[in-house]
């Protein structure tokens, strides 16, 4: 029998500390070692208790979660799952080295709290298998040298070439490293990142400030065009469709696919059907198999397919499954994927 995942809860809210410590302890595979009321208490308890995973509220008194992560992870690279309200600082905490996050529920809804605990337990399981890389400096992405891209005939690729990218755990930062320096003439990129409602819009706005391409949360009917990155909205599937001479995206709610909504498989399967050989598929870090079959369908229709390599993944799950079933044509680190992508586009 596998050993239990040992968890330390860090939260300044008496209510949430109580809920988390009580409810997480009900899972057979989780052992709650205790709690800390703030970062100072957590720094004292972590060396003593040696948890496998820490759950962390981002907004805390004295030292916030982001500063805590910057101090903790270089000394002890422990997987951290953020437990936060809808707040842009979540992405700063992910940039500082946290591997997952869960949105805090509305306290008045017991069914919402139950779903929240189920999701948190699942994220703790994923985090326990994650590779944590301590971050030095202010950001994971700031030290990356700007690549020199091969020129492409962008006018020839307008409305013909589509890039589809799927990611989960560790994907928020890995995706930034892929797209942040891509030139404005890059064909449209459609992204599914497993993320709850509200956060996808903030994530798109964050990327739009960083990237040369325009980035925004997708809206049903958006036209796909060069220089535009569209991110699937949380709790909505996104697929590619054809409308006259244009590609468009359709955003819709339906049953979860591969355990997710949005699902990478939904996007990849639609791109395989609609764009066929005029497409590139990129599957990145994440737990499970979402996107693997869709990427195989893309490759079988003539698309060029890229998988993030094991060494650079926080969780080598989705790319591994895709590779094992023959969906991946080439593997590369998240930092090298932009070069691989542009070299391929230059051959079209």
- Statement to judge: residues 91 and 240 lie in one domain: no
Q: What 3 state SS string does the chain have?
A: CCCCEEEEEECCCHHHHHHHHHHHCCCCCEEEEEEECCHHHHHHHHHHHCCCEEEEECCCCCCCHHHHHHHHCCCCCCCEEEEECCCCHHHHHHHCCCCEEEECCCCCCHHHHHHHHHHHHHHHHHHHCCCCCCCCCCCCCCCCCCCCCCCCCHHHHCCCCEEEEEECCCHHHHHHHHHCCCCCCCCCEEEEECCCCCHHHHHHHHHHHHCCCEEEECCCCCECCCCEEEECCCCCEEEEEEECCEEEEEEECCCCECCECCCHHHHHHHHHHHCCCCEEEEECCECCCCCHHHHHHHHHCCCEEEEECHHHCCCECHHHHHHHCCCCCEEECCCCHHHHHHHHHHCC
pLDDT at 72 over 90: no
The reply to whether 146 falls in a domain is no
Q: What is the rounded distance in angstroms from the CA atom of residue 314 to the CA atom of residue 253?
A: 29
- Statement to judge: residues 120 and 164 lie in one domain: no
- Statement to judge: residues 89 and 159 lie in one domain: no
Q: What is the extent of the structural domain holding 159?
A: 154-346
The reply to whether 139 falls in a domain is no
So what's the pLDDT on residue 109? 60
Tell me the per-residue pLDDT of 81-140, one tens digit each, with 9 for 90 and over.
998 887 778 898 898 899 999 988 876 666 688 889 999 999 999 999 998 876 544 334
The reply to whether 140 falls in a domain is no
- Statement to judge: residues 119 and 169 lie in one domain: no
pLDDT at 79 over 80: yes
Average pLDDT (19-31) is 94
The reply to whether 38 falls in a domain is yes
The reply to whether 134 falls in a domain is no
- Statement to judge: residues 102 and 220 lie in one domain: no
- Statement to judge: residues 89 and 22 lie in one domain: yes
The reply to whether 334 falls in a domain is yes
Question: Where residue 179 sits, what CATH number does that domain have?
Answer: 3.40.50.180
**Percent of the chain residues topping a pLDDT of 70:** 91
- Statement to judge: residues 223 and 114 lie in one domain: no
The reply to whether 259 falls in a domain is yes
62 Cα distance to chain centroid: 29
Q: Picking from 36-40, 45-49, 154-158, which range would have the lowest pLDDT averaged per residue?
A: 154-158
Judge contact between 346 and 152, C-beta under 8 A: yes
pTM over 0.85: yes
Q: Which of the residues are catalytic? A: 168, 194, 290
So what's the pLDDT on residue 239? 98
* Residue 22 vs residues 17, 49, 241, 256, 327: alpha-carbon distances, Å: 8, 18, 47, 29, 43
> How many separate domains does the chain show?
2
So what's the pLDDT on residue 155? 54
pLDDT at 70 over 50: yes
Cis bond upstream, residue 246 (ω within 30)? no
Q: What is the rounded distance in angstroms from the CA atom of residue 118 to the CA atom of residue 295?
A: 29
So what's the pLDDT on residue 140? 40
The reply to whether 149 falls in a domain is no
């Amino acid at each position: 029998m596998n050993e239990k995942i040992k968890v330390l809860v860090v939260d300044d809210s008496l209510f949430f500390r109580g809920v988390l410590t009580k409810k997480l302890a009900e899972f057979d595979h989780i052992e709650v070692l205790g709690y800390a009321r703030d970062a100072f208490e957590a720094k004292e308890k972590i060396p003593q208790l040696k948890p496998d995973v820490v759950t962390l509220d981002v907004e805390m008194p004295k030292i916030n979660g982001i500063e805590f992560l910057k101090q903790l992870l270089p000394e002890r690279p422990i997987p951290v799952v953020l437990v936060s309200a809808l707040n842009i600082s979540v992405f700063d905490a992910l940039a500082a080295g946290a591997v997952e996050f869960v949105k805090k529920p509305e306290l008045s809804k017991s069914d919402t709290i139950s779903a929240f605990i189920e999701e948190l337990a699942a994220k703790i399981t994923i985090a326990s298998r994650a590779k944590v890389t301590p971050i030095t400096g202010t950001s994971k992405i700031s030290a990356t040298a700007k690549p020199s891209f091969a020129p492409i005939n962008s006018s020839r690729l307008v409305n013909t070439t589509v890039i589809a990218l799927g990611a989960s755990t560790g994907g928020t930062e890995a995706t930034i490293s892929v797209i942040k320096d891509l030139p404005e003439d890059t064909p449209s990129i459609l992204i599914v990142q497993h993320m709850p409602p509200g956060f996808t819009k903030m994530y798109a706005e964050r990327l739009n400030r960083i990237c040369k391409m325009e980035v925004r949360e997708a809206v049903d009917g958006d036209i796909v065009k060069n220089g535009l990155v569209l991110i699937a909205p949380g709790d909505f599937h996104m697929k590619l469709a054809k409308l006259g001479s244009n590609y468009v995206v359709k955003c819709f709610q339906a049953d979860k696919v591969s355990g997710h909504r949005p699902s990478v498989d939904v996007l990849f399967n639609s791109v395989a059907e609609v764009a066929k050989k005029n497409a590139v598929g990129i599957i990145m870090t994440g737990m499970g198999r979402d996107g693997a079959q869709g990427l195989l369908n893309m490759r079988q229709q003539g698309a060029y397919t890229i998988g993030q390599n094991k060494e650079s993944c926080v969780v080598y799950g989705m790319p591994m499954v895709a590779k094992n079933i023959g969906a991946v044509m080439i593997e590369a680190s998240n930092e090298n994927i932009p070069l691989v992508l542009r070299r391929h586009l230059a051959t079209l």
